[in-house]
Amino acid sequence: MSTAPIVRMNIITGTIMLDDFLIRAILAGLGLVLATGALGCFVVWRRMAYFGDSTAHAAILGVALSLAFSMPIYLGTLGIALGMALAVAYLTARGQPMDTVLGVLAHSALALGLVAASFVPSMRTGLDAYLFGDILAVTRTDLIWIWGGAAVIAGLLIWRWQRLVTASVNEELAMAAGIDPARERLILSLALALVVAIAIRLVGALLISAMLIVPAATARGFAQTPEQMAGSATLIGAVAVLGGLSASLWLDSPAGPSIVAVSAVIYAVSLVVYRR
């Protein structure tokens, strides 16, 4: 049975009505890009792509534990993602190489998550939904979690914006201005953990980093200021969500990967336009 969205035509009025689950998918996607647009800029500036990947992979363990103990998926995922962020901050502060710490923790947590998933019957048959996302299956409760988390992330970034930008541009300059770069890095890590928790149901653990990186990388070639880049990345992410859901409708393709594919196409087009 096809999982593609359904659009119903009202023959009498000649108008097109979207099914409820497609509307929820659109709202969920827009809520996600509200968080990933600006946050993705910091991921690009600080070259934290591997951190996002590692946190997303570790989140599978949170999903398995949530299902095993009948907890909300978002709470279990958030707990593991926050634990990952704090563990990385603790170990790197004590001289451990960042890439090594991320590799060890991410692969260990992913392996534990897959082992735990094998003991959870409901997850054993639906693991693809958490690896690649299932944005078409979001509920009204999911929307509350997604928009609530996105609002927290957006508020946090607005509150710390100048400090985060300064620490991202030059840590020595930040220290001279009385800003602690380690604290700002930890704040970004916690924000990334939260976005992983709200995004895993939408685009899956394997595609979360793409939603953070690709729109921001696309906006980087055209923006003149950090604020312009954040706004452009959010707009590009929104276009990718709408385009990806439309592609899923007409091609009967998976919605999450379709969204990422559209964002990749936009990035490729931007390279051609920027070069000209």
Going residue by residue through the chain, which has 276 residues, state the pLDDT in tens, using 9 for 90 and above.
444 444 444 434 434 445 688 899 999 999 999 999 999 999 999 888 777 778 888 888 888 888 888 888 888 888 888 888 888 888 887 888 877 888 888 888 888 888 887 887 766 556 777 777 888 888 888 899 899 999 999 999 999 999 999 988 888 888 888 888 888 888 888 898 889 888 888 888 878 888 999 999 999 888 889 999 999 999 999 999 999 999 998 888 888 899 999 999 999 998 888 776
Question: Domains of the chain by range and CATH?
Answer: 20-205 (1.10.3470.10)
- Per DSSP (E only), the strands in the chain are 7-10, 15-18
Confirm if 43 and 212 have CB atoms less than 8 A apart: yes
The one-letter amino acid code at 29 reads G
CB-CB neighbours of 161 under 10 Å: 15
CB-CB neighbours of 247 under 10 Å: 20
Which sign does the torsion angle of CA 210, 187, 79, 51 carry?
Answer: positive
What's the pLDDT at 68? 82
What's the pLDDT at 276? 63
Contacts of 89 (CB under 8 A, 6+ apart): 182, 185, 186, 189
The 3-state secondary structure of 163-201, one letter per residue: HHHHHHHCHHHHHHCCCCHHHHHHHHHHHHHHHHHHHCC
Confirm if 112 and 120 have CB atoms less than 8 A apart: no
